[in-house]
Homo-oligomer: A and B are copies of this chain.
Amino acid sequence: MPESKFDFQLQHTDGSARAGELVTPHGKALTPFFMPVATQATVKALTPEEVWGVGAQVVLSNAYHLYLRPGVETVSKLGGLHKFMGWDGPILTDSGGFQAFSMGPLRKVSDDGIKFRSHIDGSEHNFTPKLATANQEGLAPDIAMCFDQCIAYGATEAEVRQAMDRTYRWAQDCFDVHQASLTGAASGQALFGIVQGGTFEELRDESARAISAIPFHGYAVGGLAVGENKEDLYRFTGQVTELLPQDKPRYLMGVGSPEDLVEGVARGIDMFDCALPTRVARNGSMFTPEGRVDISKARYAEQQGPLDETCDCYTCQNYSAAYLRHLFRAKELLGLRLASIHNLRFVLSLMERMRAAIFEDRFESFRREFMDAYKPANEVARQQQKEHWLRTQTD
């Protein structure tokens, strides 16, 4: 890994919205940005070239999944995560805290860490702040995340407080391990802290102040987008970002629907990740400026033009909506690819347009215009899909 240091420069603000530049050992990234999700060291169905091609600057992978398979040591022996997956740009890895959270009955949380059984072979594992940090040193992403305890929406205040306190203690442990390591901080790898506190204003306040007192390279808003309604998602995001230092990047974890990206940027978020754009793409659900549509519907059967006339992606530039519909109805793998490319390009183009609007001090009018046209997916259906996914899927 090159020895350049991690850095962040805030370039411009427009209200609470921010435009900046992140410097990492694997190059720069312009904020605000969205990270496509490469849980198992691959953005599902796509090559690294295609991920670059849609405008991605940073991808997110998952230390928990790679720890279980193929193993941190294997990735390390093969030259680290960048070389393993053929992605030369910046990589952020999640620590595994969220995965441990989403395992439900397979996990057991204590002050020391999270014991769980592998979803692959049932083997027992014990994640601690130390192990989670060491895993991310072995994988060698540009940005590592603290090991945190995420907690389910609907938990009591006492439960949320306990998880928040643990998250704080673990954050200190992660920071210390990372600082002491020759392959961690010293190699230029950044470590981000994570704010928890559920949907309790006082706890969010307390967590934001405590976590931001530790000199991490950046700060994440965790424990949102786990079942709360949109109003709460936006409210707590805004509450936390107001308490975070201006000169460090802020990352809203697990958020990636177009409307949430816009509302997140409006509240001062710089970084996002979410499996949603690629996950729904594989079900034939594709983004358009008016909202998500189901490409397998009969109305596309003879549409000669692209699904989205305004889109500059490979899919819309080369294939008719009718052909996309055919691929989905015929269950052809190419359909999964073409829809994934389109949905990623849709959100990444949205990020680019937000950045431009911020520089031109017209973010609010951009936001209004986008939100007027874009109809979010039905909220109840969305929550059901997400809960189903939390129970069953890896990405």
Within 8 A of B (CB), among A287-333: 301-302, 304, 318-320, 322-323, 325-327, 329-330, 332-333
| A307 CB, nearest partner CB in chain B, Å | 14
A333–B44 CB distance below 8 A: yes
Q: Is A47 an interface residue (CB 8 A)?
A: yes
Which residue, A302, A330, A337, has most C-beta atoms of chain B within 10 A? A330
Q: Is A375 an interface residue (CB 8 A)?
A: no
Q: Is A245 an interface residue (CB 8 A)?
A: no
Q: Is A10 an interface residue (CB 8 A)?
A: no
Residue in B closest to A65 when the chains form the complex, CB atoms: B330
Q: Is A362 an interface residue (CB 8 A)?
A: no
A323 to B41, CA, bound (A): 9
A42–B78 CB distance below 8 A: no
Q: Is A154 an interface residue (CB 8 A)?
A: no
Contacts A44-B332, A86-B318, A333-B44 hold; do A74 and B323 have CB atoms under 8 A apart?
no
Q: Is A390 an interface residue (CB 8 A)?
A: no
| A123 CB, nearest partner CB in chain B, Å | 15
19 CB contacts below 8 A, A to B, read A40-B330, A40-B332, A41-B326, A42-B327, A44-B333, A44-B334, A45-B334, A45-B337, A46-B334, A47-B334, A70-B301, A70-B325, A74-B302, A74-B322, A79-B304, A84-B322, A86-B323, A333-B336, A337-B337
